[in-house]
Amino acid sequence: MSFIDTLRSRWQEYRRPGYYENFDYAWTMTIDLDSCTGCGACVTACQAENNIPLVGEEELARGREMHWIRIERYWEGEFPNAKLNFIPMLCQHCDAAPCETVCPVSATYHNQDGLNAQVYNRCVGTRSCAVYCPYEVRYFNYYNHEWPSPLDQQLNPDVTVREKGVMEKCTFCIQRIRQAKDAAKDDGRRRVLDGEVQPACVQTCASQAMVFGNRNDSQSEVFKSMNDPRAYHVLEEVNTAPSVVYLKKVEVNG
Amino acid sequence: MSGIDRRDFLKLAGAGGAGAGAGFMMRESTKHPVEHLVPYTSSPEEFSPGIATWYNTVCSMCSSGCGISVRTREGRAKKIEGNPSHPVSQGRLCAHGQAGLQVLYNPDRLTGPMARTADNEDLLPITWDEGISQLATRLGSLQASGQGDSVCFLSEGVDGHLAALYERFMAQLGSSRLVHYDFTHPRTLYSAIEKLFGDSQLPYYDIGNADYVVSFGADYLSTWISPVNHSFGFGSSRKGVNGVRGRFVQIEPRMSVSGASADDWFAANPGTEGMVALAIANHIVNEGGYQGDDRDAWVSALAPYSPASMSQATGLSSSVIIGIAESFLGSQHSLAIGGGSAGNNTNGVDTLVAVNALNYLVGNLGNEGGLILNPEPVVGSGSGTLRATYTDMIELAEAARDGRIQVLILSGTNPVFNLPDAAEFREAIAQIPLVVSLSSFIDETSSLASLVLPSHTYLESWGDSFPEPGVGFSIGSVSQPVVSPLFNTRATGDIIINLAQEIGLSAAFPWSDMEEYLKEGWQQIYARGNTGDGTEGFESFWNDVVRAGVWGETTRGPSPEGLLEGVIESIDVAPPEFSGSSANYPFVFHPYISDTLEDGGAANLPWMQELPDPLTSIVYGSWVELNPLTANELNLEEGDIVEVESPHGRVTAPVFIYPAIMPNVIGMPIGQGHTDYGRYASGRGSNPIQILSPQLETETGDLAWAATRVAINPTGRRVEIVKTGGVSRELGREIIQKVGADGADADGADHAAELSSIPVKVVRS
Amino acid sequence: MANQDISFAQINDDVVRSLVVTGRKYYITLAISILVTFTCFVGPWFYQLRYGIGAAGMNHPTVWGTYLASFIFWIGLSHSGTLLSAVLHLTNSEWRKAMYRSAEAMTLFSVMVAAMMVMVHVGRPWFVHWAVPYPNQMEMWPNFRSPLMFDVMAITTYMTGSIIFIYMGTIPDFAAVRDRTTGWRHHMYVLLSLGWRGTDTEWNRLHWAYTFLAVLIVPLAVSVHSIVSWDFALSVVPALHQTIFAPYFVVGAIYSGTAGIVTVMFVLRKYMKFEHLITKLHFDNLGKLLLVMSLLWTYINMVELFTGWYSESSEEYEALNFRLFGFYGPLYWEMILFCALAPLLLISKRFRTSFVPMLILSIVINIGMYTERFLIVATSLPRQYLPDAWGMYVPSLVEIAIMVGSFGMFTTLFLVFVKIFPSISLYEVKETLPEPQPKPQADSGAP
Ligand SMILES: Nc1nc2c(c(=O)[nH]1)N[C@H]1C(S)=C(S)[C@@H](COP(=O)(O)OP(=O)(O)OC[C@H]3O[C@@H](n4cnc5c(=O)[nH]c(N)nc54)[C@H](O)[C@@H]3O)O[C@H]1N2
Ligand code: SF4
Ligand code: SF4
Ligand code: SF4
Ligand code: SF4
Ligand code: SF4
C-alpha cells in the first residue's frame, strides 16, 4: 500500500460510523422529555460542579449566559390551549462534531470515550466552534470572572477555572468519569460499572429524566433507554451523530 | 552564548524589560494583596488532602427536609448532592438544595456579633460575651420581674429538637410568645386535613404510585410542600405505574411549573377550584361511581354542585369537569391534591376539604398512589398548628405597638418582607425597645435589630429534622456540621443554651451545647427500639444515624376509617371574596412563590438569581404577567413598565406577556423587591406581597394572599427584560418531538404561519 | 497612450518629487491618521486586551461580530490590488501601468490590517502562533482540517507573494530614485534597489520572474477569498452553509477592491499631482470593470436569496427573513442600493470619466460592501436552529472605534508607503510613451 492509500484507509476507518464502538466507552446520555419538568436543578447542579462563573445581570442582559446546560422552552397554541414544552440543551458530544473540525488549534477534539473534549489551555478564542455548533451550547469567557470571597471557597478543585478569551462547555463531567476510572483501576477492573458515573445534572434530576452511561455496554441502563421507541436526536438533519438521545414527549389527546 | 557581548546583552535585557512593562500593562496594574499559604502541618483529623470526604446531613433551604450528602475537600464544602438513602430526596435535589453552598459562602454573611448603641447608628462589632450578657441581662430582669411574656421569639418554622429547645426556653422565661412564621406554610391544608380526618399533620401524597393526579393549584413540582419528593414521584409515575403512564391534570388560573408538565391544564376562575372539585365529586357520586354507605349524604350534600351548574362560576365547561371525573374514577390509582392559590383564597380550607374529599370518594386513603396519613410525630406534636397565621402576626404587631413587647428575638424569618404593607409590621417592630437578630444576614427585618448575634448556617451546625409530610412513615435525620464555622458565628441552639445558662436557667438547660442536647433527645428515639443492629448501645446507634443521615421506622400511619362525623353535611365551598371592586380593580391578582427565589429567602443567592425562571427564562428581576389578549387590550408590550394598583398600594414592574394566564388575572412572582438582604437581593425588582389586601381565609384567619383585586396603570416607561430565552416558539422545527399515547407521531401541522417576524430581545451593550 | 506631452524626465521628476518634497498637507494627514490609529485602534484594543472580548458587543449566540466583518472587508479590499495587477499584466493591458503600484500597495496594507483584525478578534491573541505549524515542545500541530487553518496558510502565502510581487516590480524604480536622491534617502534606495543597473539580462530576468509571479498570484488570490468564505460555508449555520459562498466572496472581493482602487487613484491623482499620469482612461476602464463586478455580485445575491427561499426550510427561511426584514433589514436595503443599483450609473461613459462622481460611487460601493460583510455575520448567527437560543448583536463602541481605527491604520501605512515607494511605476509608464529622442541629459538609471 502506498502512503496515500494507508492514509485514506485510516481516514475512512476514522470516519466510519460506529468507530467509537471499538473502545471501552462511548458515554451517552438520554433525556426523557416526558419526565423533565423544566425545574432547572440540573442547571444549578452543573454550575456548582463545574465552576461555572456568575455572570451578573448586566452581562446576562447582553446575552452572555454561561450555563453549560440550559432549559429551552417552547410554547404551542394559545390560551386556553397553550402548552409549554421543555428541553434541556447541553453539548451533544457529537461523534461527527462540526465544532471539532473548525478549531484551528485542536483545542476541542474527540477523545476515545466519545467525549467532545475541550482543552481550555489550548484555546485561542476564535469562537469558531461556537459558530459551528448547531446546538449553541458553547459558551465564551468574555472576561475574567470573579467569585467574591468567600464564594470562591466553593470552587471544585477537580475542575479548572477558565480565564477570559477561552471557550467552555459541558464536558459530561469528565472529572467524575476520570475518578470513576481511577477507582475501577484501583479495584483491578477494566471498566467502570454501570451507574458508577453520574454527571452532576443527572444525579440531581429529581424526576429522573436523565440517564447516563456507556452505550458500548449493552447491559447498561442508558443502552436500554436509548433503544426506547421514543428515542430521537435533536436536529437529526444536521447529521452530527449526537451522544445525547432524547425521548419524545408523550401527548395524550382527549 | 557566543556572539553576544555585554552591550548586546544589556540591549536585550532592555527589550525584555520593555516587554515585561507591556505585560504589566495588560494584566492588572494593581498589586495583589498578600495571601498566605495554609500549612497543613497540623491538618484537621478526618480528611486527607486531595481526597473528598462526604458528610450526610439535612437540607434546610425549605421545610421538606431532604437528606443531603455534602462533598468536602480540604475542609471546605464543595458540592451538595441528595442522600440516596434518604426517602424524601432519594439522592436527588432541587436547585435550591444545590445552592445551599451559597448560603454558607455568601459574601454578605454576617461575620460576628454586632450592636448599635443608639438608634440610627451603625452596627459595630462586639464580642460574643458582650452580646450574650447584654441580652441575658435584659431577659433575666424581665423574667425576674414576671414580665417574661413581653419577650417574643419570632423564628422561621423549625422542627425537631431545636423547636423543642425554643419552647423550653420561652416557657422558662414565662413567655407564650414563641412565634414560628413562614409565608409558604400550608396552613389551610392542615386545617382541611384536620377537618376531614382529625389528623393534625400533613398527609403524604403518594404521587409516585398514582396514575391519575389532579392538582388544584398546587405547584407540587416546584414550590409546594416537598417538591423533590413529588418530582421523584412524578418521574416514576410518568415512566409507568404497573405499565400505565401516569397522567397529570392541573387546574389553576396561571400555568405553574406543574401545570406545564401536566397532560391537561385547565384554567378555572380564581377561588373556584373547590367548586370544580365538588362538581367532580357530584359526577362521581351521581353516576354510580361511589357506592359507600354514606352515599346518600354525599348525594344531598353535593346536589348544588352539578357539573352543569358549576360551569358558569368556575369557567370550566361541564364536559371538562365530567371528563376529569370519569378519568379520576376510571383510573387505578387516582389522587387529588390542592394548594397554592387554591388554598389561599378566602375559602381556602373549604376548597382543600373538597379537593381531599375526592381521595375519599375513590377510596385511595392509606393506599398506594393515594393519600397516606402519617404516624404520630416522633418529636414534639407536629408543627402544623404551631405556625403563626396572619392574624397571629397582626396581634403581635398590636402588642408591639401597645408596648407589650420589650424584647423581640428574630431568627431566620423576615416578616417585614413577607407581610403586606397593610400589616404595618415594620412600624410595629420599631416600637420594640430591644430587637435582637440571630439571622445570618441583614434582611429587611434584621435591619431593625440593635443587637445582632449571627448564627451558623445549617452546614455548620448540629440539628435534626423530622420532615413533614415525609413519606408516610416516621423518619428523622441528624443534621451535622460539614465544615468548621467560617466566621465568628454560633449555632442558634448554642446561643439559646448559652443565654439560658447566663440567665440562670442552668437547671433546665444542663447541656454544654446543642450536640449534647441533641444526643440526649435522640436517646428517646433509641429507646423506641428501632435501632438497626442496635445492640452496641446508643453511641453506635448515634454514629450510625449521623453517618447514614437518616433514621426511620417503616410502620405506616393510621389508615383512616372514614371521615369525621358531620364532614359530609358541612361540605360547601363559598365563592371567594376579593378585596377591591371589580369596577376599580378589574383584575384578580395572582402572586405566586417564585420557582427560583421561593418566597424571597433565596434572593440573596446568586445562583438562584441567575437561574432562569423555568417558565419565562427571566433572571434577576420582577415582572407582571398578562394574558396576550389583556396586553393587547391595554396596548402593552413586553418590557412596558406598569403599576399594579390594589386597594392597599402599588408596585411597579415590567410586563411579560404570558400565554397561559387567564385574561382577567395578573400574575406576579414573589421573591424580589428586597431593600436589604445583601448585594444580590437588594434593590432588585418589586415585592407583590406589599400590596396585598389583608383579606383573611375565613376559617384559619391566615392571609388569603390570592384574594386581592388590582388595576394596571401603564407608566409609559420601558425596560428590556433580562431573560435568557430568545424566541419561545418552535416554528415547525420539531425540536421537541412528541408521540401520541398510542405511539404514533403527534402533530404534523403546518407551522408556516408562525414564521412571521417574531419580536426578539434586542441586546445592546 | 498616456499624455503624449510628457517626457521620461518629467515622469521621473514628478515621481521623485512626490517622494522628496513633502507639504504640510501630507504631515497633517499623516498626523491625523496616526492619531486615529492610536485613539481608535490601539487604545480600545489595549482596553479590550485587559478587560476581555467582552468589551465588544458579541454574545451568545452571536460570537462573531464586526471584527470578522472588518477582516473579510480588508481581505476583500486586498483583492484588486495584486490580483488585478497580475491579471492585467498577463493580458498586457497598457492602462494598468500607471496605477498598479498603488493598487498592489493597497493589497499589502489591507492584508496587514486584516491580519490585525484577526488579532483583535481572537480571545487570546497572545497564543495565535499556535495556529502556525511549527515543531514544538508540546508536540502539537494545528488542526489541518480547519478552514481557519486553511486561512492562515492562504493568507500568509498571499501576503508573501504580494510582498515579493510589489517589491520586485519596484526594483528598477528604486534604482531610478536612487540616482536622483541624496543623503539618507540615497542610502536607503541603494539598499532597496539591490544593486540594479538596468542591464539587459537584469531586465530580461525581471520580466520573466514578474510574469511567473503574476501567473502564480492569480489562483492564489482566488483561493484566498474562497477560503475565507469557507470559514462560513463549511459551518452548518443556516444562510452561511452555501455552495455559492466561494464565488460570492471572490466576486465581492474583486468588486470592493476595484472600488478601493478608484478611491486611491483619485486621491493620488489629486494630492500627488499625477493628473497627467492617471487619466480619464483609467477611470473609464476601472468603471467598466466595476460595472461587470456589480452585475455579477447582484446576480449571486439573487441566487443566494433564491436558494434560501427555494429550500423551504424553516431555518433558511427565517434567516433570510431576518436579514431582509429584521432588525438589520434597513442595512440590507442600503447595501442593495449601494452595491446593486447605484453602480448602474456606470453604464454611462460620461459618468465613468467624471472623477468626483467616480470617487463618490467608489466610496458608496465600499460602504455597501462593508455592510454586506457585517450582515453576513450579524444576521445569520442570531437566527440559527434553536429559536430559544436566538439573540441579537449590536456592536459596542470599542468595536466601532476599532473599525474606524483600522482605516486610520491603513491610511497611515499608505502614507508612509507613498514616501518610500514610487507610487507610480516609472518604467512601465515610460513604456507606454513614444520612444524619446536621445538627448545629452537623458537619465542614466532607467531606460
Ligand atoms: N517515588 C518518588 N518519590 C519522590 C520523588 C520521586 O521522583 N519519586 N521525588 C522526591 C522529590 S524531588 C520531592 S520534591 C518530593 C515532593 O513530595 P511532596 O512534597 O509530598 O509533594 P507533592 O506530592 O507534590 O505535594 C504535597 C501536597 O501539597 C498539597 N498542596 C498543593 N498546594 C498547596 C497549598 O497551597 N497549600 C498547602 N498546604 N498544600 C498544598 C498537595 O495537594 C499535595 O497533597 O517527593 C520526593 N519523593
Ligand atoms: S433537573 Fe431534570 S427535570 Fe429538572 S430541568 Fe433538569 S432534566 Fe428537567
Ligand atoms: S453539541 Fe456542539 S459543541 Fe457539542 S460536540 Fe456537538 S457540535 Fe460540538
Ligand atoms: S474558541 Fe477555542 S476551542 Fe473554539 S475553535 Fe477557537 S481555539 Fe478552538
Ligand atoms: S454532564 Fe456535567 S458538564 Fe455536562 S451539563 Fe451535565 S453537569 Fe454539566
Ligand atoms: S425541596 Fe427543599 S429540602 Fe429538598 S432540596 Fe429542595 S430546598 Fe432542599
Is C384 in Cβ contact with A126 (below 8 Å)? no
- Percent of chain A exceeding pLDDT 90 equals 84
Ligand 4 atom 5: residue of nearest CA: A103
To which H or E segment does residue A70 belong?
strand A70-76
Tell me, in angstroms, the distance from the centre of ligand 1 to residue B37's CA: 15
Average pLDDT of the residues in B257-282? 95
Here the CATH number for the domain that contains residue A7 is: 3.30.70.20
Å from CA of B696 to ligand 6 middle: 29
Would the CB of B66 count as within 6 Å of ligand 6? yes
Q: Rounded mean pLDDT of C338-354?
A: 94
What mean pLDDT do residues B462-467 have?
92
The chain B residue lying nearest A251, using CA atoms, is B740
Check which CATH number belongs to the domain holding C123 and give it. 1.20.1630.10
C25 or C445: which leads in pLDDT: C25
Residues 218-277 of C with CB under 8 A from A: 231, 234-237
Whole-number Å distance between alpha carbons of B577 and A22: 69
Distance CA B2, CA B533 (A): 80
Is the CB–ligand 6 distance for residue B80 below 6 Å?
no
Flag whether residue B714 sits within 8 Å of chain C, measured between CB atoms.
Answer: no
- What integer pLDDT is reported at residue B691 of this predicted model? 95
pTM for the full model?
Answer: 0.88
Per-residue confidence (pLDDT) for residue B756, from 0 to 100: 32
> Given a cut of 80, is residue B382 above it in pLDDT?
no
Which of the four pLDDT bands, split at 50, 70 and 90, describes residue A16?
Answer: low
Chains that touch A (3 or more CB pairs under 8 A): B, C
CA of C315 from ligand 5 middle (Å) equals 28
| C447 assigned to some structural domain | no
Show the cell assigned to C248: 460570492
Tell me the residue range of the domain where C250 lies. 8-129+144-432
| CB < 8 Å from A in window 677-736 of B | 679, 684, 720, 722, 724-725, 728-730, 735-736
Pick from B58, B63, B79, B96 the residue to mutate for probing ligand 6's pocket: most ligand atoms within 8 Å of its CB: B96
Cα of B65 from ligand 2 centre, angstroms: 20
- Going from the N-terminus, what domains does chain B have, and what CATH number goes with each? 114-180+383-457+488-532 (3.40.50.740), 187-372 (3.40.228.10), 587-718 (2.40.40.20), 732-765 (no CATH)
**Window 7-66 of C, Cβ < 8 Å to A:** 51-54, 57-64
Is residue C437 situated within a structural domain?
Answer: no
Alpha carbon distances (Å) from C175 to B69, C16, C333, C415, C417: 82, 11, 50, 21, 17
The answer to whether residue C115 is domain-embedded is yes
Q: Which of A44-48, B588-592, C235-239, C399-403 has the lowest mean pLDDT?
A: C235-239
The yes-or-no verdict on residue B744 having pLDDT over 90 is no
**C398 pLDDT exceeds 90?**
yes
Note the pLDDT tens digit of each residue in B476-513: 999 999 999 999 999 999 999 999 999 999 999 999 99
C59/A64 Cβ within 8 A = yes
**Cβ contact C381–A101 (<8 Å):** no
Other CB atoms within 10 Å distance of the CB of residue C389: 24
In the prediction, which pLDDT does C438 show?
54
Are C240 and C375 in contact by the 8 Å Cβ rule? The answer is: no
- Separation CA B340–CA B712 (nearest Å): 23
Q: Is B728 on the interface with C (CB under 8 A)?
A: yes
Atom nearest to B40 CA in ligand 1: 38
For residue B643, the surrounding DSSP H or E stretch is strand B640-646
Would you say residue B133 has pLDDT above 50? yes
Of the ranges A33-47, A167-181, C11-25, which one carries the lowest mean pLDDT score? C11-25
C381 and A CB contact within 8 Å: yes
The response to whether residue B51 sits with its C-beta less than 6 Å from ligand 1 reads no
pLDDT (average), residues C75-98: 79
Residue B338 φ then ψ, to 5°: -150, 150
Tell me the average pLDDT of chain C: 88
> In the prediction, which pLDDT does C445 show?
45
Q: Determine if ligand 2 sits within 6 Å of the CB of residue A87.
A: no
Phi and psi for B214 in degrees, rounded to 5?
-110, 120
H or E, element range at B653: strand B649-657
Are the C-beta atoms of residues B726 and A70 closer than 8 Å to each other?
no
Sign of the four-CA dihedral B580, B582, B585, B590: positive
Residue C441 placed within a domain = no
pLDDT at B117 over 90: no
pLDDT band at B19 (very low <50, low <70, confident <90, very high): very low
Nearest CA to ligand 2 atom 8: A36
pLDDT at B489: 95
* Distance of residue B466 Cα from the nearest chain A Cα, in angstroms: 21
* Dist. CA B97–CA B91, nearest whole Å: 12
**Number of compact structural domains in chain C:** 1
Q: What's the angle, vertex CA B224, arms to CA B221 and CA B225, rounded to 5?
A: 115
Q: Does pLDDT of C8 surpass 80?
A: no
Partner residue opposite A79 with nearest CB, options B80, B236, B659 = B659
Q: Which helix (H) or strand (E) holds B265?
A: strand B264-266
Cβ-proximal residues to B708 (8 Å cutoff; 6+ apart), any chain: B578, B579, B580, B588, B589, B646, B647, B648, B691, B692, B693, B695
- What spacing in Å lies between the alpha carbon of C317 and ligand 4's midpoint? 29
Average pLDDT in the B554-561 region?
76
Residue B747 has pLDDT above 60, yes or no: no
- Whether residue C444 lies inside any domain: the answer is no
- pLDDT tens for each residue of C424-445: 777 777 776 666 555 545 444 4
The pLDDT tens digits for A84-123 are 999 999 999 999 999 999 999 999 999 989 999 999 999 9
Nearest to C148 among A72, A126, A238 (CB): A126
Helix (H) or strand (E) holding B411: strand B407-411
Residue C439 lies in a domain: no
- Distances from the Cα of B18 to the Cα of B7, B21, B25, C341, angstroms: 17, 5, 11, 53
> Is the residue at A205 inside a domain?
yes
Average confidence score pLDDT of chain B: 88
> Would you call B727 and C390 a contact, using CB atoms and an 8 Å cutoff?
yes
Higher pLDDT, B671 or B469: B671
CB-nearest to B739 from A49, A204, A250 is A250
Output phi, psi for C371, to 5 deg.
Answer: -55, -45
Buried b (16+ CB within 10 A) or exposed e, B682-712: bebbbbbbbbbbbbbbbbbebbbbbbbbbbb
Question: What's the 3-state SS for B663-682?
Answer: CCEEEEEECCCECCCCCCCE
Residue A191 has pLDDT above 70, yes or no: yes
Q: Is the CB of B529 under 6 A from ligand 1?
A: no
- Write out pLDDT tens, residues A207-254: 999 999 999 999 999 999 999 999 999 999 999 999 999 999 998 865
pLDDT at residue A17 tops 80: no
Q: How confident is the model at residue B761 (pLDDT cuts 50, 70, 90)?
A: very low
What are the pLDDT digits (tens) for B150-203? 999 999 988 889 999 999 999 999 999 999 999 999 999 999 999 999 888 899
Confidence of residue C182 (pLDDT cuts 50, 70, 90): confident
Q: How far is A123 from chain B (nearest CA, A)?
A: 19
Residues 478-537 of B with CB under 8 A from A: 486
Q: Which three cell numbers mark B547?
A: 453517618
Q: Cα(B342)–Cα(B541) distance, rounded to whole angstroms?
A: 44
β-partners of residue B649 are B646
Sign of torsion over alpha carbons A62, A66, A68, A71:
negative
The pLDDT of C314-340, averaged and rounded, is 93
For ligand 2, mutation pick of A33, A71, A212 (most atoms within 8 Å of CB): A71
pLDDT digits (tens, 9 = 90+) for B307-341: 999 999 999 999 999 999 999 999 999 999 999 99
Report the pLDDT averaged over residues B417-441.
Answer: 94
Element (H, E) at A57: helix A57-61
Using 50, 70 and 90 to split pLDDT, how confident is the model at B25? very low
- Which pLDDT score, from 0 to 100, does residue A253 have? 66
* The pLDDT value given to residue C282: 85
pLDDT for res C442? 44
> B693, B658, B696: which is closest to B252 by C-alpha?
B658
Position B556 scores a pLDDT of 79
Q: C388 vs A73: CB contact, 8 Å cut-off?
A: yes
Report pLDDT digits (tens) over B623-633. 999 999 999 99
Cα of A254 to nearest chain C Cα, Å: 29
Mutate to test the interface with B, among A39, A66, A89, A152 (most CBs of B within 10 A): A39
Q: Which residue, A73, A74, A75, A69, is CA-closest to A89?
A: A69
Percent of chain C with pLDDT over 70: 94
Q: Hey, what's the cell of B488? A: 465568628
Chain A, chain C: beta-carbon pairs less than 8 Å apart: 142
What is the domain count for chain A?
Answer: 1
**Rounded to the nearest whole angstrom, what is the distance from the C-alpha of residue A145 to the centroid of ligand 4?**
19
Residues B442 and B419: their CA atoms lie apart, in Å, by 17
Q: Among A154-168, B380-394, B604-618, C422-436, whose mean pLDDT is lowest?
A: C422-436
Q: Is the dihedral of CA C165, C167, C172, C177 positive or negative?
A: positive
Q: Is a pLDDT exceeding 50 seen at residue B751?
A: no
Question: Could you tell me if B755 lies within 8 Å of chain C, comparing CB atoms?
Answer: yes
Which three-class secondary structure state does DSSP give residue A186?
Answer: helix
pLDDT of residue C82: 80
Q: Count how many pairs of residues, chain A against chain B, have C-beta atoms within 8 Å.
A: 251
Contacts of C324 in chain B (CB under 8 A): none
The pair phi, psi for residue B80, each rounded to 5°, is -110, 130
pLDDT tens string B559-598: 777 788 888 989 999 999 999 999 999 999 999 999 999 9
Whether A154 is covered by a domain: the verdict is: yes
Beta pairing class for B649-657 and B624-626? parallel
In a domain, A252, yes or no: no
pLDDT in tens, B435-451: 999 999 999 999 999 99
- Dmax of chain C from CA atoms? 81
B48 Cα to the center of ligand 1, angstroms: 13
Is residue A253 in a domain? no
Full residue range of the structural domain in which residue A84 is found = 3-247
B39: pLDDT strictly greater than 70? no
B214-229: average pLDDT: 95
Q: Around C141, how many Cα atoms within 13 Å sit in the side-chain half-sphere?
A: 5
Q: For residues A104 and A124, is the Cβ–Cβ distance under 8 A?
A: yes
